[in-house]
Chains A and B, each alone.
Chain A
Amino acid sequence: MAENFEQHSDISAADLARLTQEAQAEATPSTAKIIWSEFKADKPAMAALIIIVGFILFVMIGALFINTPKMMETNIMGYFNQPFTADYWLGADSAGRSVAKQLIVGSRNSIGIAIGLTVISSTFGICWGLISGYFNGYIDWGMQRIYDFMMMLPMTMMIIVLVTIIPHYNSVTLTFIFSIFYWEGTSRLIRSRTLAEAEKDYVAASKASGTSHWKIIFREIMPNISSLIIVDCTLSFAENIGVETGLSYLGFGLPSQTPSLGTMIANANDPNNITQYWWTWFPAALEIIILCLSISYVGQVLRRAADASQRQGSIN
């Protein structure tokens, strides 16, 4: 390109390289760079990020070394073993099963479902919001009516009914069932931003030059609202941890033989457990609180990074 340029203009190659460098230095830094500088400026956010990533890696890898069926076997010798002993770091539950091991496998299951749910429901919600906001006529009207209808459904009840109907479900089917009901928030947010974005000049210019609708939606509008999408995905991830654990707590999520943070908290439903054997449920509750707070905090930092007027980090 440089040679080509030289033939038609009188700027030398060295000048061109210098000008390019200058322009790049002045240009808006990349999103990744902004986010990174934001984390560097905010030490608690850095700590939260390290906690999340470290913890997720720990449970994902740790769970590989645990034989789940063996762990879930009843072991009468360990009946309500006290915590902080050599064999049972966090004690044992009424069937003598190690709480610490259950916690690791349970976290793996719960976090895995939350990640899957976030990916599926966000993808669907983003597409829904983009299409609904961009076409903005009868299509939008129809899609909005479906949205209204979904909003009317009592979500928790519908999920419980569906879980009861499906005879053999596992974590994958469960993720899909949850996804049916948890795309609305994302789609609403994305739609309102797309409505504003579709009014802008670059969209009009693209339309005038004959770019196809799909290319405008997914290659032009979507990258422009990517920061919003990142923030929303992070925040819904935090919420989604609560979705699966909540349903499992009620007994309609993962089956009781599959440990989940929710089924572990459900130990608290027994008045004996909740008062005397706090270690059977409290670690799981504490873990959910720490995870949700850390993830949402990271989400807040990402939100700041997306909004130039709120940034705290300095670039360069």
Chain B
Amino acid sequence: MWKTILRRFLIMIPEVIILSILVFLLAKAMPGDPFTGSINPKADPAQIHHLMKINGLYDPWYQQYWNWVVHLFHGNLGNSYQYQEPVTRLIGGRAANTLWLALFTMILTYVFALPMGVYAGRHEGKLPDTIIRVYTYVTYCIPFFVILVIGIWIFGYVLGWFPTTGSISSSANNWIQTLGSRFYHILLPGLLGALFGTVNIVQYLRSEVIDSKHSDYVRTARSKGVPSKDIYRHHIFRNSLLPIAAFAGYSITGLLNGSIFTETVFSYPGMGLLFVNSISYRDYTVITALVLIYGILNLIGTLLSDIILSIVDPRIRIQ
């Protein structure tokens, strides 16, 4: 068990190093230097030259990379050229927004998916099952950003039920209003994300329930006279809980990758929107930091899922 986890950790290290080199080189290869746009067009080219020099932009790439890594370990990701603010502080606030939204979406996804999966499996082949299968199929096929645009059109603009931009309204004064306003702003993107992200969990749970229906332990429970409702709730459902929990790691990575779209459509100030904005400003200290953070979060998500799965299923450990 611990050996598996340790091995997974060891494999992670070279992956992170290669990722950081790759990200750094890509950011370096981006066109334009970060000063040209931000200073007075009449500025002396020699002055720009001087700025580039003291910022180390003329050093060879490995030297720059090494400086960057050293700063990284001191918690210093550099300054954002666009916002003139340390990247760590800039991202810190945005990261909280993104993670709240992702967490909220994930909880809602489970709230919707768990009953649907069990119900569909229990009534396999009947009308509710067909409806749930058609629903998951439709939600799976449609590209998510189209759903977001149509969602914000119907519920945000036409019906006016939800706010269409930002993460908090300016009129919120005390902490109750702040909390309420924040929640109100993530409600629509969270609901859309959850309603259109159930497919994996529902399908897994459904086939799991159908499989266990004919297993020995269910037959034993039935012969002891356990009511059907309790069999589904306590025996079958509890057995599939851990693998279902393992989906959490994967779904975090999916949600993070989707956050670029969600945050752009809803103008929600999270890391995804920050990334899109920074790209247009060639703000490459922010870009490198964000790609690195997303990569590491992906890695942690997958690691989490793999560890949970290896606890559940010993066969995975042996490899």
Interfacial residues, chain A to chain B (CB-CB below 8 A): 145, 148-149, 151-158, 160-162, 164-165, 167, 238, 241-242, 245-246, 249-252, 265, 268-269, 271, 274-275, 278, 281-282, 285, 288-289, 292-293, 296, 300
27 A-B pairs in the complex with CB atoms less than 8 angstroms apart: A148-B15, A149-B15, A152-B295, A152-B298, A155-B257, A156-B260, A156-B261, A157-B294, A161-B26, A161-B279, A161-B287, A161-B291, A164-B30, A164-B31, A165-B26, A165-B29, A238-B141, A246-B144, A250-B260, A265-B145, A268-B149, A275-B157, A275-B158, A281-B149, A288-B142, A292-B143, A300-B137
Interfacial residues, chain B to chain A (CB-CB below 8 A): 11, 15, 18-19, 26-27, 29-31, 137-138, 140-146, 149-150, 152-153, 157-158, 164, 256-257, 260-261, 264-265, 275-276, 279, 282, 287, 290-291, 294-295, 298-299, 302
Known contacts A281-B149, A288-B143; 19 additional CB pairs below 8 A are A149-B15, A152-B298, A154-B257, A157-B291, A160-B279, A161-B26, A165-B29, A165-B30, A167-B31, A242-B143, A242-B144, A268-B149, A268-B153, A269-B265, A275-B157, A275-B158, A285-B150, A289-B146, A292-B143
Indicate if the CB atoms of A293 and B141 lie closer than 8 Å: yes
Q: Is the interface of A mostly helix, strand, loop or mixed?
A: helix
B164 surroundings in chain A (CB, below 8 A): 271
Indicate if the CB atoms of B264 and A165 lie closer than 8 Å: no
Indicate if the CB atoms of A252 and B279 lie closer than 8 Å: yes
**A278's closest neighbor in chain B, by CB?**
B153
B256 surroundings in chain A (CB, below 8 A): 154
Number of inter-chain CB pairs below 8 Å: 112
* Separation of A161 and B138 alpha carbons in the complex (Å): 31
* Separation of A252 and B146 alpha carbons in the complex (Å): 16
- Taking the closest CB of chain A, its distance from the CB of B250, in whole angstroms, is 10
- Taking the closest CB of chain B, its distance from the CB of A234, in whole angstroms, is 12
A251 surroundings in chain B (CB, below 8 A): 276
A152 surroundings in chain B (CB, below 8 A): 15, 19, 295, 298-299, 302
Indicate if the CB atoms of A296 and B141 lie closer than 8 Å: yes
* Separation of A153 and B18 alpha carbons in the complex (Å): 11
User: With contacts A245-B143, A292-B143, A293-B141 known, is A157 near B275, CB below 8 A?
Assistant: yes
User: With contacts A238-B141, A250-B276, A296-B141 known, is A285 near B18, CB below 8 A?
Assistant: no
- Taking the closest CB of chain A, its distance from the CB of B97, in whole angstroms, is 17
Indicate if the CB atoms of B11 and A161 lie closer than 8 Å: no
Indicate if the CB atoms of B11 and A145 lie closer than 8 Å: yes
Name the one of A160, A165, A246 contacting B145, with C-beta atoms under 8 angstroms.
A246
- Taking the closest CB of chain B, its distance from the CB of A260, in whole angstroms, is 13
**B22's closest neighbor in chain A, by CB?**
A153
A271 surroundings in chain B (CB, below 8 A): 157, 164
**A155's closest neighbor in chain B, by CB?**
B257
Indicate if the CB atoms of B157 and A157 lie closer than 8 Å: no
Name the one of B26, B146, B298 contacting A162, with C-beta atoms under 8 angstroms.
B26
* 8 closest cross-chain pairs (CB), A and B: A242-B143, A154-B294, A296-B141, A292-B141, A275-B157, A165-B29, A268-B149, A246-B145
**A276's closest neighbor in chain B, by CB?**
B157
* Separation of A133 and B280 alpha carbons in the complex (Å): 42
B30 surroundings in chain A (CB, below 8 A): 161, 164-165
